[in-house]
Amino acid sequence: MNMPATKIELETATPAAAVAPVVAMTPKRPPRAETYARMARETAVRVIPPLVVIALLTLVWELICRRAGSALPPPSRVFTDTKELILDPFFDHGGIDKGLFWHLSASLQRVAFGYSLSAIAGIGLGVLVGQSVWAMRGLDPLFQVLRTIPPLAWLPLSLAAFRDGQPSAIFVIFITSIWPIIINTAVGIRNIPQDYRNVAAVVQLNPLEFFSKIMIPAAAPYIFTGLRIGIGLSWLAIVAAEMLIGGVGIGFFIWDAWNSSHISEIILALFYVGIVGFVLDRLIAGLGKVVTRGTAQN
Amino acid sequence: MTAYLKLDHIDKIFTRGAATTEVLKDINLTIEKGEYVSIIGHSGCGKSTLLNIIAGLTGATTGGVLLENREVNSPGPDRAVVFQNHSLLPWLTVYENVRLGVDKVFARTKSRAERDAWVMHNLNLVQMAHARDKRPSEISGGMKQRVGIARALAMEPKVLLLDEPFGALDALTRAHLQDSVMALHQKLGNTILMITHDVDEAVLLSDRIVMMTNGPSARIGEVLEVPLSRPRKRLELATNATYLKCRQRVLEFLYERHRFVEAA
């Protein structure tokens, strides 16, 4: 009920600024500089501590691994050994002798494929289980058992079924990441407040409209929790699966480096795997934030 | 007297396992077109259940609801509900919340532009047009309830059902909204059925007050006519003899004859 009051303030404030623009501009500038300074300070507060920690850890690593006969290379060796790989990630000498960009992109393509399938199937099954008591009674025990099976345990079976590495890897990603998506979606659907269902009933939304206009937005925060866990799991699974199926991919790159005793290359690849996994997680989290901006505030 | 909305021998029995509870017993009530009727009773007496039955959200065990001589037993926009906790969809803007119902009800009879104008017209009625692009989380409780009222009105219901619409609001906002609802009723001539537990609210707004006995097996204990002319002014009524008598009557019913028994 304080709307009128704010309105009056706005109305009085605007003409004052219009009448005396010069006066308004001089006090405006220092605050802007101040905001930049504050932003810089805030960024520094967040960026400096991890940088210090990384520098210290690198130093410790260097000191431990520098002596002769050390099993693992120190960071300086890693850098000199992998300089070419770092500087030119795009080379392609045919076969599996490719730059890291190609390996990563092959892995990401598999993840994108498998994860998209599991997102669609997972949300679909989650809605079914969340909406229907009978579907839940029938499927939930099955899900609870299947989801405990480690990703790689599926690989021999899928190789036997598909007789090819590529679809097998995609299947492993699919089967690994689908469970958290199903379970979280189902919880989200079950938690839709009765009020929203009543609104839909009074307005007489048909099932399709109810699905798109009430169910999905209401359950979106839960769905995105599942999607976020799922993307993490699928990135975990792809590296392991690729070690076994071979071909182009960051997982096989690591395995190949191990077989040729290029320990520095393994370390570099691990670094990239970590960064990509982090970016994927942030991507889904950011997408979730945008999509659920209305619901989450409730 | 022609019955516009008729509650015909409604019983409601809840069954949970072997235990059965009779919530409502033999509820009969007829409401005329344009009438403002309040249902008042202690909490737990089944008045919200009764409203849900009229709205079609819950089924009656026996008996039924007739609207213009036709039985209604499923929810629909002809009996739009203003829910106690506003129930706006948080991911939609104020405009979209109202539009959702309008798009369904007038899908065939109004063009897009007409529907848009109709949404804005209803937001204007409740003085919320300025917040059309805000989300429910960005407006106050009273404003949310205004939008809830606009959403219900925009469906052009035959009966407007208000489920303790002002219960969650502070006293000043509540008074303000009560005046708004009175003005809307005056202007549009809707048939309104309101659930409340506030005696002053019931007397101020209603043409008739239906007083319910305590549950289980709640019945209609008494129906009181409020013979006050409209428009009614809150301040003038404070000393009005008829108003005070009606108020006294409801208070006596609630606190003497049907005193609330704590978890009997």
Domains and CATH numbers, chain B: 31-57+70-77+161-263 (3.40.50.300), 86-155 (no CATH)
Quote the tokens at residue B255: 């606190």
Most A CBs within 10 A among B58, B89, B100, B103, hence the mutation to make, goes to B89
Interface test with B, best of A197, A203, A298 (most B CBs within 10 A): A203
Rounded to whole angstroms, the Cα distance separating A249 from A105 reads: 8
Contacts of B87 in chain A (CB under 8 A): 193, 195-196, 198-199
Which two structure tokens, joined as six digits, stand for A283?
A: 């991507």
With an 8 Å Cβ cutoff, is B137 touching chain A? Answer: yes
| Bond into A150 cis (ω within 30) | no
B140 neighbourhood in chain A, CB within 8 Å: 1
Domains of chain A: 95-292 (1.10.3720.10)
- List C-alpha distances in Å: A166 to A107, A169, B237: 10, 5, 81
**Are the beta carbons of B176 and A1 separated by less than 8 Å?**
yes
Cis peptide before B136 (omega within 30 of 0): no
Give me the sheet containing B208-212, strands edge to edge: B81-82, B159-163, B191-196, B36-40, B208-212, B220-225
Q: Which one of A1, A10, A202 would you mutate to disrupt binding with B, by most B Cβ within 10 Å of its Cβ? A: A202
The pTM (predicted TM-score) of the whole model is 0.78
The closest CB to that of A1, out of B83, B92, B140, belongs to B140
DSSP for A153-187, please give it. GHHHHHHHHH-SHHHHHHHHHHHHHHHHHHHHHHH
CB contact under 8 A, A294 and B91: yes
Q: Do B135 and A294 touch (CB under 8 A)?
A: yes
Burial of A11 (0-12, 13-18, 19+ CB in 10 A): exposed
Interface predicted TM-score (ipTM): 0.86
Let me know: does B36 contact B185? Beta carbons within 8 Å: yes
What are residue B67's DSSP bridge partners?
A: B5, B70
Q: Is B101 on the interface with A (CB under 8 A)?
A: yes
Q: What is the pLDDT along chain A (298 residues), one digit of tens a residue?
A: 444 444 444 444 444 444 444 444 455 555 778 888 888 888 889 999 999 999 999 999 999 888 878 888 888 888 888 888 888 888 888 777 888 899 999 999 999 999 999 999 999 999 999 999 999 999 999 999 999 999 889 999 999 999 988 999 999 999 999 999 999 999 999 999 998 999 999 999 999 999 988 998 899 999 999 999 999 999 999 888 998 888 889 999 999 999 998 999 999 999 999 999 999 999 999 999 888 875 654 4
